[in-house]
Amino acid sequence: MQLTKKQEEASGRLLTGGAENRIFWSDSGKIAKFIMGRLSAPSGDDPETIAQAFMADNRELFDLAADVAERLAVSSIERDSQGHVHVCLAQFIREVPVHEGSVQVHINGDGEVIAYKDNRLAEADVDFQPRFSEVNAVHAAMADIGEEGEKQQCGLCLYRHSDATVHLAWQVAILLPHEHGARYYFIDAHDGGILYRFSESRAIMARKTYTAKNQQNLPGTLVIQDELTSADEVVQAAHNNAREVYDYYRKTFGRDSYDNQGSPLVATVHFGQSYNNAYWNSSRKQMVYGDGDGSQWLPLAYALDIVGHEFTHAITSCTARFVYAEQSGALDEAFADFFGVMIANDGEIVDWQMGEGVYTPYRSGDALRDLADPSRFGLPDHMDSFMHLRPGELPDGGKNDLGWLHYNCGIPCKAAHLTVAGGTHHGITVEGLGRDKAEQIYFLGLTEYMRSSTLSRWTFEQARFAALNACRQLYGDQGREYAAVKNAWAAVGVGEPASQFAVISKEVSPSLAIPDNKPQGVSSAILIEEEGILRELTVVVMINHSYINDLRVRLVSPGGEEVVLHDRTGGEEDDIIAEYRLDNTPALVRFAGDMVQGEWQLIVADLARSDQGTLAGWGLTMAVEKLARKSLARGLGPELPIPDNSPQGVAGTIQVAEAGTILHVDVTVDITHTWVGDLQLIFIGPSGREMVLHDRAGASRHDLKKTYSSRTDDVLRQLIGAELQGDWTLKVSDLAAQDTGILHGWKMEILYN
The yes-or-no verdict on residue 93 having pLDDT over 90 is yes
Cα–Cα distance measured from residue 207 to residue 226, given in angstroms and rounded to the nearest whole number: 5
Q: What is the pLDDT of residue 210?
A: 67
Q: What is the pLDDT of residue 229?
A: 79
DSSP letters for 468-482:
HHHHHHHH-SSSHHH
Cα–Cα distance measured from residue 373 to residue 359, given in angstroms and rounded to the nearest whole number: 17
Tens of pLDDT, residues 175-186 = 888 777 789 999
Q: What is the pLDDT of residue 380?
A: 95
Q: What is the pLDDT of residue 486?
A: 95
Phi first, then psi, for residue 77 (nearest 5°) are -135, 120
Tens of pLDDT, residues 687-719 = 999 999 999 999 999 999 999 998 788 899 889
Q: What is the largest CA-CA distance in the chain?
A: 114
The yes-or-no verdict on residue 383 having pLDDT over 80 is yes
As a whole number of Å, the end-to-end CA separation of the chain is 39
Cα–Cα distance measured from residue 471 to residue 473, given in angstroms and rounded to the nearest whole number: 5
Tens of pLDDT, residues 528-555 = 988 888 888 999 999 999 999 999 999 9
Adjacent-strand bridge partners of 580: 539
Q: Which of 598, 597, 650, 590 is nearest to 625 (CA)?
A: 597
Mean pLDDT, residues 141-153: 90
Q: What is the pLDDT of residue 47?
A: 95
379: left (phi over 0), alpha (psi -120 to 50) or beta: beta
Cα–Cα distance measured from residue 453 to residue 457, given in angstroms and rounded to the nearest whole number: 12
Cα–Cα distance measured from residue 293 to residue 684, given in angstroms and rounded to the nearest whole number: 76
Mean pLDDT, residues 257-264: 88
Q: Which of 339, 302, 288, 336 is nearest to 181 (CA)?
A: 288
Order across the sheet with 726-734: list the strands: 646-656, 726-734, 679-684, 690-695
Amino acid sitting at position 18 = G
Tens of pLDDT, residues 359-368 = 777 777 778 8
Say if residue 384 is exposed, middle or buried (CB neighbours under 10 Å; 0-12, 13-18, 19+). Answer: middle
* pLDDT bucket at 209, cuts 50 / 70 / 90: low
The yes-or-no verdict on residue 205 having pLDDT over 50 is no
Cα–Cα distance measured from residue 382 to residue 368, given in angstroms and rounded to the nearest whole number: 19
Residue 139 annotated to the active site: no
Cα–Cα distance measured from residue 119 to residue 298, given in angstroms and rounded to the nearest whole number: 44
Phi first, then psi, for residue 136 (nearest 5°) are -65, -35
What average pLDDT does the structure give for the chain? 90
Cα–Cα distance measured from residue 471 to residue 115, given in angstroms and rounded to the nearest whole number: 13
Q: Please give the distance of CA 42 from its chain centroid, rounded to a whole number.
A: 34
- Percent of the chain surpassing pLDDT 70: 98
3-state secondary structure 570-594: CCCCCCEEEEEECCCCHHHHHHCCC
3-state secondary structure 527-554: EECCCCEEEEEEEEEEEEECCHHHEEEE
Residue 425 annotated to the active site: no
> Which entry of 310, 333, 439, 536 is annotated as an active-site residue?
310
Helix axes 410-421, 401-408, angle to 10 degrees: 20
Q: Which of 152, 130, 151, 134 is nearest to 142 (CA)?
A: 151
Cα–Cα distance measured from residue 288 to residue 271, given in angstroms and rounded to the nearest whole number: 7
∠ CA 732-733-734, rounded to 5°:
135
Tens of pLDDT, residues 1-24 = 678 888 888 888 888 877 788 888
180 within 8 A of 213, measured Cβ to Cβ: no
Tens of pLDDT, residues 318-333 = 999 999 999 999 999 9
The yes-or-no verdict on residue 268 having pLDDT over 90 is no
Cα–Cα distance measured from residue 497 to residue 486, given in angstroms and rounded to the nearest whole number: 5
> Which entry of 84, 180, 382, 406 is annotated as an active-site residue?
406
Q: Which of 97, 53, 211 is nearest to 455 (CA)?
A: 97
Mean pLDDT, residues 204-222: 70
Tens of pLDDT, residues 488-516 = 999 999 998 987 778 889 999 999 999 99
The yes-or-no verdict on residue 527 having pLDDT over 60 is yes
> Could you tell me which residues come within 8 angstroms of residue 212 by beta carbon, excluding any fewer than 6 positions away?
218, 219, 220, 221, 268, 269, 270, 271, 272, 288
What structural domains and CATH numbers belong to the chain? Answer: 5-118 (3.10.450), 134-198 (3.10.450.40), 200-318 (3.10.170.10), 321-499 (1.10.390.10), 503-625 (2.60.120.260), 630-752 (2.60.120.260)
Say if residue 642 is exposed, middle or buried (CB neighbours under 10 Å; 0-12, 13-18, 19+). Answer: buried
Tens of pLDDT, residues 592-609 = 888 898 999 999 999 999
**For the ranges 31-35, 41-45, 278-282, the one whose mean pLDDT is highest:** 41-45
206 within 8 A of 286, measured Cβ to Cβ: no
Tens of pLDDT, residues 403-461 = 999 999 999 999 999 999 999 999 888 999 999 999 999 999 999 999 999 999 999 99
The yes-or-no verdict on residue 128 having pLDDT over 50 is yes
Cis peptide before 391 (omega within 30 of 0): no
The yes-or-no verdict on residue 108 having pLDDT over 90 is yes
Q: What is the pLDDT of residue 434?
A: 94
